[in-house]
Amino acid sequence: MTGKQLTGKTIAFAVSKEGIEQVELTEPWEAVVQAGGTPVLVSSESGTVQAFNHLDKGDQFPVDQTFAGTSVQDDDALVLPGGVANPDALRLDQDAVAFVKGFFDAEKPVAAICHAPWTLIESGVVAGRTLTSWPSLRTDIENAGGSWKDEEVVLDGGLVTSRNPDDLPAFTTAMVALFAGGNQT
């Protein structure tokens, strides 16, 4: 996944203060860098965020921008890493929810993995879409008007989703391809 297909593009990674599944942050981040893009870590507070390796504390990462201090117009695409606590906290943050919804309103591409669709549900953007996630979110997605598939990667217009860290190779490939294509509907 080398090349410069994302050169000149800024990709926002939206995360909460803690509970981000580290590999679901770092592997997509590295894929953006390898493709020539500029990843930006966006959170509710400045400082650092705490990632986890499943239930064990992982590394901390510096926040580049806050939801309140940035605009959807500043970025070309959005990545929502998973982890159970991360999207659960994001969906309670009005600025984060508005930020995520803004990407859909602007028809900018979005990639979400694992439990991240909880934030999509809260943002009101799941109805009429087909996506995948960690299996326990299936009922939530269907109750929000979406269709759920148990597949490694699901692409629905400008949204790419995957189930879990095992899907990361396919997820990052599909994500970079989607982001390189520009706006999607």
106 phi and psi, to 5 degrees? -85, 0
Amino acid at 80: L
Residue located via tokens 């929810």:
97
51, 63, 111, 114: the active-site residue:
114
- CA distances, 95 to each of 19, 38, 52, 147 (Å): 18, 22, 23, 26
User: Is the distance from CB of 111 to CB of 130 less than 8 angstroms?
Assistant: no
Phi/psi region, residue 148 (left: phi>0; alpha: psi -120 to 50; beta: rest), is beta
Active-site residue, from 91, 108, 115, 129: 115
26 labelled catalytic: no
Check if the beta carbon of residue 80 is closer than 8 Å to that of residue 100: yes
User: Does the active-site annotation cover 54?
Assistant: no
User: Read out DSSP for 98-110?
Assistant: HHHHHHHHTT--E
Q: Which residues are known catalytic residues?
A: 114-115
